[in-house]
Each structure stands twice: as C-alpha cells, then as structure tokens.
Structure 1
Amino acid sequence: MQVAVTWTFFEEHWDTVTARLSESVAGDVAMMTSLYQSQPGRFEEMSRQAYDTMGLSVDLREGDVLPTARRTAFFRALDRALRRALSNTLDEEFWFDTTRYPEYVDIRVAVDEGVLRFIVVREHVFATTGHIFLLWIIGTTSLLTAVSVIFIRNQVKPIRQLAEAAEAFGRGQDRERFKPAGAREVRQAAHAFIDMRQRLIRHMEQRTALLAGVSHDLRTPLTRLRLQLALMPASEEREAAMKDLSEMEAALEEYLAFARGQAGEEPGAVNLTALCYEIGEDVRREDGGDIALEIEDGLVIRGRAAPLKRALTNLVQNGRAFGEHVVLSASRTESRIEVAVDDDGPGIPEPQRAEAFKAFSRLDESRNANRKGVGLGLAIARDTARAHGGDIRLEESELGGLRAVLSLPA
C-alpha cells in the first residue's frame, strides 16, 4: 500500500510540479538569453531586473566555454525534467549542474561573447518536498511493520503453545502449566482444550480402575479352573481343557492390553537398541525361535518402554506365526528411527493392509480358532506408534513375506 501511495505521489504530483517549475525557470532563462542577444548593451540593467523580479542571478563570462563534464543528481528524474524543459525553450547549447550547490542550480548557456551563467534557487526549479515525503513514508512503514510483527508474534505465540500442549497430550505428556492467552477466540479454543483434556483424563482413570477390577474378577475363576484341571487325572479331555484355558488367558491379556493403551507409565528415555535385543532373547528363551537381529547402536527416544516393547513383540509374534524366518532390524535416518520386522510368510495383499490394522481383524471371516490371537496385535502396535508421534506401515519384504516398519521420531 505504501509503495502504491509513493508511486502515485511521484507520478501524479511531484513529477508534475517539478516539470512545471522547470519549465518556468527554463522560460526565464530563454527570455534573458534572447534579450541579451538582441540588446547586449543593456546587460547590466537586465541582470538587475532579472534578480529583482525573477530571482535569477545572471553573469556574463566572456570568452568562456561550456564545461564538458556532467554531474548527475541522485534523483535522475530532476535532471531529466530540467533538461527536457531547457531543450524545449532554448536553441543555444546549454549545461547545468544540480549537485554542486545544495540550495542552488547552476545553468550555463553558450552565446557569441562567451557563456551566460544563471544561478537559480533550487526551490524555483524542483519540488523540494519529495525527500521529506519519502522519509515520512519509510518512517511510518518501518514503525507499522515493527508494530505488526510484535502484534502478530504475540497472537501466534498462544496458538503455538496450544498446538504444543495438544501434541504433548496426544503423546501422554500432560502440561500442567498451560494457560489460555491471546485473542478471545484463541482463549476460547484453549479453554475448550483444557475441558476436553480433563474429560479424557477422567475417562482414562475410570477405564483403568474398571480394567483393574475386571482383570481381578476374571483371573480369579480362571486360576481356580486351572487348579482344578491340574488336580484331575491326565486325559485327552483334560489336555484339551487346559489348552482352551490357556487360549482364554491369552485372549484376556490381549483384550486388556488393547484397552489399557498407554496408561500406567510415565514417559522417559527408552533405549530401543537394548529393547530390541531383549525381545530377541525373549523369543529364543520361550521356544528357541529363529530370529535374526540387525540392530544399530545408540538408538534412544523419549517414550514409554512397556508399550513399545509390547508393540514390537506383537510385530515379531505376527511374523513368527506366519513365517519360518524372522529378521528384526533397527536403524536411524535423518530425523526418524525405524524398527522393521521381516518374515518369509505369505504376506498381506496391498488392498488388505489397511484392514489388517482394524481391531479384531484377522483377515478371514471365519476367525479360524486354530490361528493364535484375536486380531489385536497390529491395532495395539499402531496405537502405540501413533501415541509416540510415529506410525506403522506394511510393505513387501525382501524375504518374500511381510515387512512391518515402526517409524518413530528420533
């Protein structure tokens, strides 16, 4: 806007006024030159009249010639306006200098006897208020820009704090010192966020208490059943019942893990390198499974160790359930840490990979009871990844099966 105003001022006002003043002075110079050439004997009288009536200081320099050097003003538009006006009114050669004297303009015209030199007050030739206007424009623009930057930064800061608080809460890091600030609409959004956070916290506390009660109520009868089966004589029916009971306990643990989510642990530094080696040792210790480890050293993130171990364990168990060979690898990129589980099983077709992340989905409508699990492994793993600011993606493995990649911010 300021540039448009400045352009309009110089184009419509300042340039026009300067052109009119230059034309007026050029006319006076042309008239005095013509009078001198027609009546050279009256030069002294004419020079006095020119000074008294037009403010022109006229001097005849006999035998002198016009200078050849040209000095250009900073605002070249001034020189162009004066040169155009003198060219239109004078037939003689001329020279002028607008830079030597701060308050005056030196104009020289070639005549037969030498050079007529005119000293003209600068205000009579140019509109001298242009630089003042520019100073005002630059000053006000700088002031308004500074005020705008300060104002916008003060308005953006509460929005950024609200975004950081929401992101931290999504990762399970509650910021107690967050206070609403900024414009009315921003404070309204902040109050709505605080209310929502309190409702979610109450919901999670109630869910945790409910899960603790459900876990106790279900584990007690299952323990009694296991004890009664252990006291019964060995038989095929007893072994089948023990197997069913083990599956019920495993399903119960998986349901509780899915419902419990990230509750019960404060975030801290998690050594993913040590965690991956621990998972590999657990697999070998449980059933001597074949799992290869390709883990980079020094992989540390901020998060919750137990949910991350549960998520990676689910990915490894999925790979071992459908493949004979499993590879657990972990490496760092520029800004992320990726933990991948590769297997040589049948894999998952690309159209069904989104369905695989849904809770209780086992990619077969019959839910074959011979297949271990209840379809919560990938759902739990993805919820854990997203709670830590990351995600899980499924790809085709180089081993021929499925590749599950847990990507976390470094």
Structure 2
Amino acid sequence: MSVLKRFLPKGLFARTLLIIVLPVGLMQVAVAWSFFEEHWETVTSRLSEGVAGEIAMATQLYEQEGGETPAFQRHIEAALGTTRLSIDFRPDDTLPTSRRSSFFRTLDITLREALSQQLDNPVWFDTTRYPSYVDVRVQVEGGVLRFITPRDRVFATTGHIFLLWIIGATTLLTAVSVVFIRNQVKPIRRLADAAEQFGRGQDVAHFRPAGATEVRQAAHAFLEMRARLKRHLEQRTALLAGVSHDLRTPLTRLKLQLALMPQTGETADARRDLDEMEAMLDEYLDFARGDGSEETQRIDLIGLTREVVEDARRHGGDIRFDTEGELDAELRPGAIRRALANLIGNATSFGEVVEVTVEPNGARIEIRVEDDGPGIPEDQYDEALKPFNRLDESRNQNRKGVGLGLALARDVARGHGGDIRLGRSELGGLLAVISLPQ
C-alpha cells in the first residue's frame, strides 16, 4: 500500500479527478471488452463463416464443372445478384506472396480461421486494399479464383462506431469533471493563499468565503481567527505604548537629576546603569511589539540592507557588504531593519570582522550575517534562538542586551513566512541566515 501511495497524485484536484474518472474509465473499458468479446467477435465470426462457405461452394463447383461451363457461369451471375459476391477466374495466375494486415488484427484472424475451416486449397486475402470490399483469392487447378465481397458481409462494421461512442462519452465526462472539480478546488486554493499571506503579515481584506458549505465554514473560521489575532495585536501594541510612556518618564527624570548633580564616579555609574536600563527597555519593547501593525510593501532588500550596514559602520563596526544590484521583495521595512540591526549588532559585538550578503536561493531570498568571533556550539543553536537566553559561556559573556537579538530576528523572519538558521561561519564565528520568500 505504501508503494501505491508514492504513485498517487498529491493534489486535491488530481485526486478528486482520479476518484471520478477512474471508475468511469474502468466501467467503459469493461463495457467495451464485454461488447467486443460477447457480441462483436461473435457476429464477425458468423459473417466470415457465411462468406467462407459461399467461397468454398463456388470453389467446389468450379472444380466439379470447370470455369467455362454454363452451370458455373450461372452460379457466378446468381452469386453476384443475390449475395453481392463477385467471382472472377484468372487462368494461369498464382497467389500473391505479400500480405498486408489490418489495423484490427482480429478481423484477419477471424476470416483466416473461417476460410481454413471451409477450404483445403491455398488461400490469400487482403482486407486493406479496398475500403469497402475484401479481396479473397483461392488457388485452383489452372489458375486462381478471385472473390470480391462487400466488407459489411465479412465483418461487423458497427464495432468501430461503438468504440468511438465509448471514447467520446469518456472524454465528455472527463471534461465535465475537470470543470466541476476545478470550480470546487478554486475556493480551497484561495483559502490556502489567504492563510499563507496572513502568515506573512500581508493584508487579506480581499478574501471572501466561497465554494461548498464545508469550505465556507473553514473560510469563516479563518476570518474569525484573523480578526481575533488582529485585536490581540492591537491591544498588545496599545498596552506596550502605555508601558513605554510610563517607564520612560521616570527614566527621563532620573537622567535629568543626575545631569544636575555634581559629576562624580557614583553619578557616572548611575548614568551608565540608566543607559543600560533604557537599552534593555528598548529591546524588550521591540521584541514584544513585533511587526503586526506595519504594512508590507515592495522594497529593494539589497538597498535596505546597505542602509543598515552603513548605520552599523558609523558606530565603528568593520562590516563587509559587496552585494550589488536590486532585489525586490514584499516585506515590512521596519521589522526587517530591526532584525538586521540586531544580527549585525550581535556580530560586531563578538567579532572583529563581519560579512553580510544578500542573494536569491530558488524561490527564497537569503540574508547571511557572519563574523569571526567565538561562535556558538552546534548543540546550543536552538537555545540561542530562545528569548532571554544569553549563552554566557559561548558568546563572550554577552555583556550587552538581555538575549533577545536572535529571538527577535527569528520572530521577524517567521512573521514573513521565513525562518532563521544558525551555522558555523567560514570566518570562524557564527553564521546567521535569514530565509525569506520572494
């Protein structure tokens, strides 16, 4: 059964078409086989036996009375008038040596068997030379008897018409099935496309439920889920905006008070603590805010990456970026900018040299950020992508941030229908690859 599954179609359209067309095709094949086996071959055999009997009788009459006798001539005239069997004696002639077979070999086999049962003389026949007649020749003493008989007296000609009807009916049923199934599958494809677009954060306001009742139910459930998620994101964004405002106000007051106090070692330490607290707060809010409120747009990803690299260079980072040209993609610019800034910031924190590349890879786009730092052990890649995981032992004590850089980058990538993976860089440090759909 598992072997059979490998050969079955995977798509719903192909499977449904197979379910409908295969039984119809098998039924048509069974009907056609039954017709040809039980009716057509039987009728053809009887017709061939009748003509073979008339040819045998004419041959015997010739051998008994000779070809020039009045009795034989009367028989020739009677055969032509009543059975439409034309008889011609060719003196000193021999049978042809070449033979052409009919497309339906059953016709030749049936006629050959009938003639061999009725005649002992050598026989040659041709069912292909004349469209409406069959040419039969019998070797007799002194020459050859040639018989020309209408084709419909030897074979049942309705078999081909029946076969055409079977093929035509199957073709018509298949065409109707294709149109019907395509109309049923189309709403399912639209629902799948809408779900994929929503997973990337794109607007699916144009989507409307359609199709069968079950498909409409699934579509309505999807729209309700989408509305609940949007409400959740809006509520979370509003809550975080209030938290951000409430926390930044006391931080600003504390920074102002420190600025007015005498500048000592203690005030400098307090100011550094406040700066670190503000940076941590920004990182928390960036991770919690996500990118649900930002609309996607068609942007040049190479140009956006170049801007992020230039910003990082202004802060003293040694970053290589040699990708040229343009590469358009449907993205949220702000979210992608935050993810790249986090990855490049992490790379510059733990390495001296950072290399960034952007390149297409099949139907996807890959952004590679690698450094020459200490890297991360392979068995800790999954842990490194979890929020608030600092991996102190493997990344130089991770003095900066709260361990949200990689987690935020992965959240952004997955919000676009992509993902992020980690590996070992050729520079010796960590390789982070963001994979996005084009």
Q: Same fold (TM over 0.5)?
A: yes
Identify unmatched segments of 5+ residues in structure 2: 1-25
Kept in 1: contact 2:354–2:372 (CA 8 A): yes
Which residues of 2 match residues 257-406 of structure 1 at below 5 A? 257-286=286-315, 288-364=316-392, 371-406=399-434
Using the alignment, how far apart are the partners of 2:133 and 2:359 within structure 1?
A: 77
Matched, 1:408 2:430: no
Aligned partner of 2:171 in structure 1 is 142
Task: After TM superposition, list the pairs within 5 Å mapping 1:96-175 onto structure 2.
Answer: 96-175=125-204
* Counterparts of 1:310 and 1:163, CA distance in 2: 29
Aligned-partner Cα distance in 1 for 2:314–2:341: 14
SS in 2 for 1:296: coil
Alignment length (residue pairs) = 407
* TM-score using structure 2 length: 0.85
Matched, 1:197 2:223: no
Local SS of the residue matching 1:27: helix
Identity of aligned residues (%): 63
- The whole-number CA distance in structure 2 between the counterparts of 1:20 and 1:71 is 23
* 8 Å Cα contact 2:86-2:149 kept in structure 1: no
The match for 1:28 is 54
Pairing 1:10–2:39 present: no
User: Gapped runs of 5+ residues in structure 1?
Assistant: none
What is the Cα-based RMSD across aligned positions, in Å? 2.6
- Name whichever of 84-93 and 170-179 sits farther off: 84-93
Contact 2:101 2:127 survives alignment (8 Å): yes
Q: Structure 2: how far apart are the matches of 1:87 and 1:223?
A: 115
Could you give the per-residue CA deviations for residues 303-340 of structure 1, whole angstroms, max 9, x where no partner exists? 11111111011111111222222222223344433222
* Partner deviation per Cα, 1:373-395 (whole Å, 9 max, x = no partner): 11111111112112223221111
Matches of 1:163 and 1:6, distance apart in 2: 42
Deviation per CA, 1:142-169: give whole Å up to 9, x if none.
1112111111211221111111111111
Per-residue deviation, 1:100? 4.6
CA gap of 1:310–1:126, structure 2 versus 1, over 3 A, is same
Match of 1:94 in 2: 123
Deviates more, 1:180-189 or 1:66-75: 66-75
1:39 Cα offset (Å):
3.9
Q: 1:266 to 1:116 in 2, by over 3 A?
A: same
Tell me how far 1:36 sits from its aligned partner: 3.1
State whether residues 19 and 85 of structure 1, in contact with CA within 8 Å, keep that contact through their aligned partners in structure 2: yes
TM-score (norm 1): 0.90
From the superposition, tell whether residues 370 and 15 of structure 1 become closer, same or farther in structure 2 (CA, over 3 Å). Answer: closer
